Amino acid sequence: MLSQGVFIFGYLAVLTVLEFFVAVTFEAIALLIVVALVKAALVVYYYMHIYKLNAEHEGDHNSYEYKSGTNRIGLWLFLISDSFVFGGLLVMRMNLLGLTRPNLNPTLGLAVTSILLISSFFMNRGETMMSNGDRKGFLNNTLITFLLGLGFLIGVVAVEWRLAAHEGLTPSSGAAGAAFYMMTGMHAFHVLTGLIFLAIVWFNGRRGLYDEKHYPVEAAAVYWHFVDVVWIFFYPALYLIGTVIL
């Protein structure tokens, strides 16, 4: 019998496929946002629930291994389906802009990209330290990851969006505006979701809820690395490829 994790992540995968078709077929931004919010709420609910595996199955190693294994499969199914959304956004960008790109700040783009990549390094260190029983090291590295992720989010939403709007690039200012805000907005939403995950595992780690059974930490790390990989594709698509639209 499949665990609750596979069911919930499978349901999220269906919602993600719906996001993909909405994005590439109807370009209905409002509906896209509603679906994303529903998906995020389900993820957060489930994520706050699975840490109980550590306490509920203390001494029952096989039960924990089985459930964490099926949850792991569910998570990867969700991430694979989520990649269709980001792939659809890249296709939309190429269809709308071709070999042109928005007039963005290249220095800021490089800075926020560097911040996000560095955060992935600290997230990997944090997970490794938890695997080795170093709770303090896990907490320190996860906190650094959170702060770097928050810096990235502020850099994109609070700074880059403001600078773009000042230059006349708005969501309603044509193909460049539509591509830029949909791509960065969807990615920023996933970064925000990742920050919520990081906060949850950090607080649970402080409470001593993780030992060798730390699947929630692994899930948070995998999700965070996924968000980083997506931006590796988005960064050149927005900041490097093509000539600037004046």
**pLDDT per residue as tens, the chain (246 positions):** 344 444 455 555 555 555 555 555 545 555 555 666 666 666 555 555 554 554 454 444 454 554 555 567 667 777 877 887 888 888 888 888 888 899 898 899 999 999 999 999 999 999 889 888 888 999 999 999 999 999 999 999 999 999 999 988 988 888 888 889 989 998 998 999 999 999 999 998 888 877 666 778 888 999 999 999 999 999 999 999 888 875
Residue 90 and residue 24: Cα distance in Å, rounded?
10
- Asked if residue 137 lies in contact with residue 177, where contact means CB atoms within 8 angstroms, the answer is no
pLDDT of residue 40: 60
The 3 state secondary structure assigned to the chain is CCCHHHHHHHHHHHHHHHHHHHHHHHCCHHHHHHHHHHHHHHHHHHHHHHCCHHHHCCCCHHHHHHHHHHHHHHHHHHHHHHHHHHHHHHHHHHHHHCCEECCCCHHHHHHHHHHHHHHHHHHHHHHHHHHCCCHHHHHHHHHHHHHHHHHHHHHHHHHHHHHHHHCCCCCCCCHHHHHHHHHHHHHHHHHHHHHHHHHHHHHHHHCCCCCCCCHHHHHHHHHHHHHHHHHHHHHHHHHCCCEECC
Task: Give Cβ neighbours of residue 221 (< 8 Å, ≥ 6 apart).
Answer: 123, 124, 126, 127
- Asked if residue 238 lies in contact with residue 184, where contact means CB atoms within 8 angstroms, the answer is yes
Is CATH 3.30.43.10 the classification given to domain 4-244? no
pLDDT of residue 142: 96
Domain ranges of the chain: 4-244
Residue 127 and residue 88: Cα distance in Å, rounded?
31
pLDDT of residue 51: 47
CA distances from 72 to 64, 96, 167, 223 (A): 12, 36, 44, 11
Residue 110 and residue 94: Cα distance in Å, rounded?
21
pLDDT of residue 198: 94
Residue 88 and residue 93: Cα distance in Å, rounded?
9
- Asked if residue 49 lies in contact with residue 215, where contact means CB atoms within 8 angstroms, the answer is no
| Amino acid at site 176 | A
30 Ramachandran zone, left/alpha/beta (phi>0; psi -120 to 50):
alpha
pLDDT of residue 3: 47
